[in-house]
Structure 1
């Protein structure tokens, strides 16, 4: 029977990988899927691993086991232990005969089993899954190549597994597993790699050790990449990144010998090793500063500087793109982790900084070669320059010597590259807006080191290319080259002008900015005069240059950020040059020029989303300035804009534009409303406001008539509603006073709410319609600056909530009745709007403007209906997927906190299964990595536990007058699911004891309630913790746990919780010291 089964399985495996017939492959996959779901899958898998045809049999078996391993019901711990030993045995016997990818799959299977059961303790108080690791570490040797390679591969994959939560049943278990592995084995693994690499460095014939050396370097790097504190940080982020190695690792780094070793290996080994070695050096340069004392840190830095200089003295291997990129990251980390004053003290600083400047200049000139890497070099120079004010004036940093050379190289190389872009058609780096803005953020400060030199350079290139561009034929190669170069020059001028805000006032620099800005404005006005209206609806204007428009907007935005400020100060010297060149005498004049450009762009570039976005963002930013907005309001062009904002004047306000372009209408109307209300000092003058919204009022009437008459083009009607909601949302955002908001609400109620409700009922499946409506409601419900605190005689707040409730309930009922959608579209078409509904309801509950208590008194079900829909939406989102939708989960936890604060009786009456699902979501939130989610989840849990404790301990018959009656759903849920609170207790305690907690205070508040409600579980947890510790530490743990509850009473008053929070802080410190071996009992200290 077994042989027959094996033959069938081998055939399926072969068909899956080798068949050229797609149907045969699909059928084989289905057959193997059925096999994996059978009760015999473990026996069949091990048989296929051992006797299956190589390579497909073992590969399929291994991959299948990996997928099914995390299913707790499919295989028990004993079977997993047998599987672990079986796989390790197979690797030992067959690793050399199996293909590498099969060996990798088997190693990963072993590591996954080991990780999942890492903290399992058998009856003899041993950890059987940990036992093989020690022998694997000891089997590493330079001489025994085959066995060493296998051991190194297993350990590398094991570290990668321990860094990942894949396959783990909870984030709590993952963190506990990861931390115990870190404390028990990671350092010994790292020391072993360093020891063997030192031995290898002394060998005369290294070539025979190359495979083992590569594996050793890989394992060494994985050790340093380990997530030491469970922060799940993104290592690709260079800002303030540190390798948080534990204090017990100090001895491995303080003398800097490991840097010498890596530098020596870099020089000695061939190019295929250098990227890996450089990656290790990057991590070594990122070791947290607090690991060293002052002298040790300086010694360590000296070795890094010497090593960096040695690499630049031998630049041949930097021609490899990967090595070059890692070296640039190494340079950036030098300044990110160390201070300029420390670098200057290093003996080799001057030759190193000279070589580094030369290297940077050469790198900038190689535009094609690893363009993303130069960002890190510029990061280094930016941080160096910004640190100069914090060092003594006599310190010779030499930045004033090298920074101008770097700026010159950057400018010249980009301008020279334009010819290649035009003649050869290669990509222009200026089109990569994201990367370009990152680079400009770094180069701003470098430019200002010798601003006059930068100014002369930019002016020279502008004056050389502007005449060619202005007078040449658009199709000539020389004109196109001049155009491309001008785009770069104008963009760089904008970047240089913004540098003013990061440096001290300097009249000479302001005059230079004036010269550059004058040239840009003349060119901009010339460009605008050439524009021809688009020949078709979706076309750009004739003779228009998209790149040049981006450059102009970059200049204007940076000028605004640097020179248009609310602070009352002297007139800048920039206007001296502007008046000489363009007769622009003051801020009002330049605002007039900017507004003219904004209007031109809105007329000519309405179909270009990027230009439209940049233009309206500039208008909005100008409207936010207290002083500037009053000057703007007095401009004739702004008055024209305030009185003519229809689709006849600006095509992007019509229904024929793209849905993506429509989203910018919110920004447009927000800016216009702010200009109107702030410039006019409008508060309760409804006549002025009514005139302003007259075009929108007409549109609303047309929409109402269209709904009532029927027979209207549905697409046009949908677009009209989308545009209307986006427009009015912008107006609502700017209405931040009670008087303005009341005028707005009086206009909207009831017609606009009726329109929105009809739209939601008619097109619940059209997310492009429903999302703008919900976003608008979300804005209306936000109590910005207490704008919704109406007079006591006003019922506007109640009316608002009733309308919002009706819309959400009507939409929700129809949405939940729709057919399912493909998984790829479920977020966009379903879940996204549910998240917005969570946000709306949260805003209503926390805004403190609706007297919810009277709803029940007068039989109004608006609140109850809204909360019921909140629960339905929550249940509609799969529990497993919930944490992956970041925005939705954030809104959910904030709403849940508000519901638990004000509507706990509603929560208590929920179905026990629903309440259990909410508690599970709370546990997920408490274990989140997002501080805001943790805070809201902990607050919700604390409120729930307070309610449960009060309900279980209070005397019968006690109640509060006018308060909604409680239910017993929560009590039943806890009784039906006793593991819910116990898992929360265990997870919270484990995180506080062994994890890196971001919100200790928040997590401490519900913990006391968990302990008091489950004293038996708390005792069991303590017993388990004691059993897992080495015998010499158990008494210390007992003392720490005793001190945790010292002086704590059996109640959940705020005073008692405060005392518990203080005890918990000490408890955490004690646990950390016990784990490190530094713990000194209080009694010992007292006796001293």
Structure 2
């Protein structure tokens, strides 16, 4: 318990130095670490006993881990802390670790207790690993992988570019296994390899000369070569995994020409080949580690042709044999899982899309060396597997596993041909014709199997394999990377399959997708991927290169239209044959389905085989059914019944897909006229009116309202600025606004009254966000003349704005930040509303205006998109106040009332922007310059007071320099917001930000509200830390 309490104390201390010991108050500047004090205090531990030494190293280890930049609400504030730590302390901490490791390597450290020595070594290796894996650039690495492509080590860390640095880790690794063979230090050995993985990924520019980098590379190759030769420690699974990572990283960090020029590399390929073949034969052991070894061989394929005279002669043969061994290992994996899946302690790659894709990508690279031989091998394995299944030599389960793998492998081989440079990149003597015939043979095997299994029950894994193959087949023949072949058609292989032309090829592929949508509805992943693949076929626009004529643009959707399959989709899209449409779990896919078919429909508007009116007849039938449920409009509330719910959800999802597909003015007009024109079947009402009734009846059902609102949001969106275009004399823009706002008002007024909710995000916030997006899209669409509403006394605009502001205010700030990605429409609406309707916004009570500004404050500290929107919102707000602060109009009265009731709102904004500016947390100075100028002009006294505070917080020697920066900031700046004045301020601000950040090479504490509090807080924190260190020393020293 004492050890646990000590560890928790140390962890808490490190967190306190990083985050200030607790949650920060709103709008306070973050307290920044003073790392030199830590180095001074922990240094006392490192000069004491072994126990002290371990504690000191543990503090450093925890601190380096805690200081990593992290994603979160305070990310931008804490990032500067991490960079300060990197610049001041991290190098010194790594030097401590390296110096200690050098003493271990030289045998200068002798601890009587072997366990204590192991513990110490492990701690210092972990510290070195933390330092090397530090996020030097603050990019917030992806946690889903342990790979770091390049270590951006600072240029000034020159001590670590000497070749003795990696040699030390190799020496320590060997010592971990050889010093005491009966009790090897396995964990320490693994940490040595982990450090070497990072060392091998140092950025190229870190080394001052090519000769220095080559020496470093040679040391890495030599150390790795010795381990391969002796197999030291590779019986341990974790060491084996890290060693495979090391080999892969050395390969990806260096060009083949550089490796070949290295003296130790001459014998390296042969030993690496033996090690790889040995690993592939032991396919059960650490299957995920072999990807790194295979990646080495795949990486040399492309440059192999160019350096053919400089590489070892047997390299091609090695790659061919490794490719064959890998393919056979997949057959072994399939058989083992089929026969005894429950006792396998590893996951089948067929069930892990990421792992499977990695292996297929490697195979597609490896197969480019002696491609026809690899294709022939796979062809023979396929036929052999089918023959054994038919004769009963293998079980049905084994057949399904093996044939699934073979279909994936064939897809990978066919997909490797998309580059368009086939005769150039294959390093054997295969001609284009031979490769095409090999592809045709492989493709025919799979297409035949697809036909044979249509009437059988197949596992979902095999269906997914079919879809993978079809996707790769699409890329080869009609994909966006269609090949340029010597005097032959891009569809030559298709003809070899027996297809008459390119349309027949398309029809063959798409028919399988249609079959899945009709008959494989019990396979969710299969349905989703089939839908995605259908969209790629329809929406793909590709260029096919010909030798004999100019390049040709091929729209695969147009090819599909000319086939019976395409016409069948358009005329029977709502048929009961497509069973997935009637299943609730596929409800979300309806949007993708109708986006795809809508795209296909709008391709053929000029010579329509199926007209728009014919296509939407099934949707018209649903509209009519809903109309009849409301007693032909006399009782709109009766639409709230179970018979209407699912058809309504399906209808709005379908319409949203159609709306997505109408991407230009002509197609949008067709959809608009159908929805907005009076319909005879529903007694002259518009179809859009039914959605207003639905919003009034189903307002509390999020599963109905969210899809409905999303459809409206897309329908009113003027994407690209030219999608919605009405003539000047048309009232269509006003009609569209009134219909959309009617839905928003009926939903919003009700949802704001709902109090008891178990899940606020799902039941309220999600729908409110989409409602705000509707109004944002309309206002920014520029197709509605809003003055008309005021002229004719129509309150719909005021009511909509009032409701939208109430929805913004109804979301607590903590929830707004917690669900920021989904609630970004709050900031989108505030941006467009403050630009066009500030007079309406100022009708809010001053307290509510202040609350909106606090939302903007949070937005200034958030991700870049929201930050830019917040800057624009604040800029509109400030300019309006500046324009009307002395006006005698009612807008001037509203401005003065706000300034008198909330005197602290604008000064707080001024303080926050200077805080973010001085700590480097504003990525776009142009966006904030106009806002800051407006705040300075409006709040001159507050600006002068703030400037004086910042100057007084500096040490005596820096105060004149900081004061000079502020003077230069306002040179030639006038008290107005003209474009010329803004441009001058922008230039001054750029120099001010650059100079102030340069001076603060490590951050000092800025606490604008009460500087004295911050100084006292940091003093207390350091005092408590010192007391803790002192007590630890007294407790541990004899």
The TM-score bracket by the shorter chain reads: 0.7 to 0.9
Map residues 865-944 of structure 1 onto 2, 5 A cutoff: 865-928=799-862, 930-944=863-877
Map residues 240-639 of structure 1 onto 2, 5 A cutoff: 241-248=149-156, 250-269=157-176, 270-295=185-210, 296-334=212-250, 337-378=253-294, 383-385=299-301, 395-396=310-311, 400-425=316-341, 426=344, 427-469=347-389, 471=390, 477-506=394-423, 507=432, 508-528=434-454, 530-531=455-456, 543-565=457-479, 575-580=491-496, 582-626=497-541, 627-639=555-567
Match of 1:112 in 2: 15
Is structure 2 residue 576 aligned with structure 1 residue 672?
no
Match of 2:679 in 1: none
Partner Cα distance (2:507, 2:189) in 1: 57
For the 8 Å contact 1:285–1:334, the answer to whether it is kept is yes
For the 8 Å contact 1:894–1:936, the answer to whether it is kept is yes
Partner Cα distance (1:175, 1:192) in 2: 24
Q: How far off is 1:974 after superposition?
A: 5.1
Is structure 2 residue 41 aligned with structure 1 residue 136?
yes
Map Cα deviations across residues 31-69 of structure 1 (whole Å, 9 max, x no partner).
xxxxxxxxxxxxxxxxxxxxxxxx5xxxxxxxxxxxxxx
Q: How far off is 1:414 after superposition?
A: 1.1
Match of 1:1053 in 2: 978
Partner Cα distance (2:330, 2:215) in 1: 39
Is structure 2 residue 101 aligned with structure 1 residue 197?
yes
Match of 1:65 in 2: none
Map residues 633-712 of structure 1 onto 2, 5 A cutoff: 633-654=561-582, 657-658=583-584, 660-681=585-606, 688-708=611-631
Q: How far off is 1:881 after superposition?
A: 3.2
Tell me the TM-score normalised to structure 2 length.
0.82
Partner Cα distance (1:417, 1:806) in 2: 60
Is structure 2 residue 63 aligned with structure 1 residue 158?
yes
Q: How far off is 1:697 after superposition?
A: 0.6
Shift of the 648–181 alpha-carbon distance from structure 1 to 2, 3 Å rule, reads: closer
Map residues 621-1020 of structure 1 onto 2, 5 A cutoff: 621-626=536-541, 627-654=555-582, 657-658=583-584, 660-681=585-606, 688-708=611-631, 714-749=641-676, 751-784=686-719, 786-822=722-758, 825-928=759-862, 930-952=863-885, 956-957=887-888, 967-968=895-896, 971-972=899-900, 975-977=903-905, 980-992=908-920, 998-1014=923-939, 1018=943
Partner Cα distance (2:287, 2:864) in 1: 35
Decide which moves more: 109-118 or 1019-1028: 1019-1028
Q: How far off is 1:707 after superposition?
A: 3.5
Partner Cα distance (1:551, 1:1007) in 2: 57
Unpaired segments of 5 or more residues in structure 2?
Answer: 25-30, 177-184, 424-431, 542-554, 677-684, 1003-1038
Tell me the TM-score normalised to structure 1 length.
0.79
Give the secondary-structure state (helix, strand or coil) at the position aligned to 1:501. Answer: coil
Partner Cα distance (2:892, 2:523) in 1: 55
Decide which moves more: 610-619 or 413-422: 610-619
Partner Cα distance (1:300, 1:591) in 2: 53
Shift of the 332–127 alpha-carbon distance from structure 1 to 2, 3 Å rule, reads: closer
For the 8 Å contact 2:766–2:822, the answer to whether it is kept is yes
Map Cα deviations across residues 285-311 of structure 1 (whole Å, 9 max, x no partner).
344444333434444434333344344
Decide which moves more: 890-899 or 593-602: 890-899
Q: How far off is 1:981 after superposition?
A: 1.3
Q: How far off is 1:387 after superposition?
A: 6.2
Shift of the 630–133 alpha-carbon distance from structure 1 to 2, 3 Å rule, reads: closer
For the 8 Å contact 2:538–2:596, the answer to whether it is kept is yes
Structure showing greater relative contact order (alpha-carbon pairs closer than 8 Å, 6 or more residues apart): 2
Give the secondary-structure state (helix, strand or coil) at the position aligned to 2:714. Answer: helix
Partner Cα distance (1:1070, 1:247) in 2: 22
Shift of the 556–927 alpha-carbon distance from structure 1 to 2, 3 Å rule, reads: same
Map Cα deviations across residues 817-852 of structure 1 (whole Å, 9 max, x no partner).
224333xx3333322223323333332222222223
Partner Cα distance (1:565, 1:844) in 2: 37
Partner Cα distance (1:376, 1:966) in 2: 67
Map Cα deviations across residues 403-459 of structure 1 (whole Å, 9 max, x no partner).
434433332111111111111124532121233224434543333233223212211
Map Cα deviations across residues 247-287 of structure 1 (whole Å, 9 max, x no partner).
43x22322243322222222222212123233323333344
Q: How far off is 1:693 after superposition?
A: 0.9
Map Cα deviations across residues 144-186 of structure 1 (whole Å, 9 max, x no partner).
11112222222322333333679x9955542343333333322
Match of 1:146 in 2: 51
Q: How far off is 1:202 after superposition?
A: 1.3
Decide which moves more: 587-596 or 341-350: 341-350
For the 8 Å contact 1:906–1:966, the answer to whether it is kept is no
Match of 1:59 in 2: none
Partner Cα distance (1:1048, 1:362) in 2: 74
Decide which moves more: 410-419 or 438-447: 438-447
- Alignment RMSD: 3.6
Match of 1:47 in 2: none
Q: How far off is 1:1030 after superposition?
A: 6.6
- What is the count of residue pairs matched by the alignment? 940
Partner Cα distance (1:645, 1:898) in 2: 39
Partner Cα distance (1:974, 1:343) in 2: 68
For the 8 Å contact 1:575–1:584, the answer to whether it is kept is no
Partner Cα distance (2:811, 2:450) in 1: 51
For the 8 Å contact 1:896–1:940, the answer to whether it is kept is yes
Match of 1:19 in 2: none
Give the secondary-structure state (helix, strand or coil) at the position aligned to 2:909. Answer: helix
Shift of the 191–1005 alpha-carbon distance from structure 1 to 2, 3 Å rule, reads: farther
Partner Cα distance (2:32, 2:602) in 1: 71
Q: How far off is 1:521 after superposition?
A: 0.8
Shift of the 852–1069 alpha-carbon distance from structure 1 to 2, 3 Å rule, reads: same
Give the secondary-structure state (helix, strand or coil) at the position aligned to 2:756. Answer: coil
Shift of the 711–884 alpha-carbon distance from structure 1 to 2, 3 Å rule, reads: closer
Partner Cα distance (1:1026, 1:394) in 2: 67
Map Cα deviations across residues 735-790 of structure 1 (whole Å, 9 max, x no partner).
22323322222222354433323333323332222221122112212223522112
For the 8 Å contact 1:985–1:1018, the answer to whether it is kept is no
Q: How far off is 1:588 after superposition?
A: 0.8
Unpaired segments of 5 or more residues in structure 1?
Answer: 1-54, 56-97, 121-125, 532-542, 1078-1088
Shift of the 974–517 alpha-carbon distance from structure 1 to 2, 3 Å rule, reads: farther
Q: How far off is 1:906 after superposition?
A: 3.3
Q: How far off is 1:970 after superposition?
A: 5.3
Shift of the 1048–225 alpha-carbon distance from structure 1 to 2, 3 Å rule, reads: farther
Shift of the 802–376 alpha-carbon distance from structure 1 to 2, 3 Å rule, reads: farther
Q: How far off is 1:518 after superposition?
A: 1.2
For the 8 Å contact 1:247–1:291, the answer to whether it is kept is yes
Shift of the 409–1073 alpha-carbon distance from structure 1 to 2, 3 Å rule, reads: farther
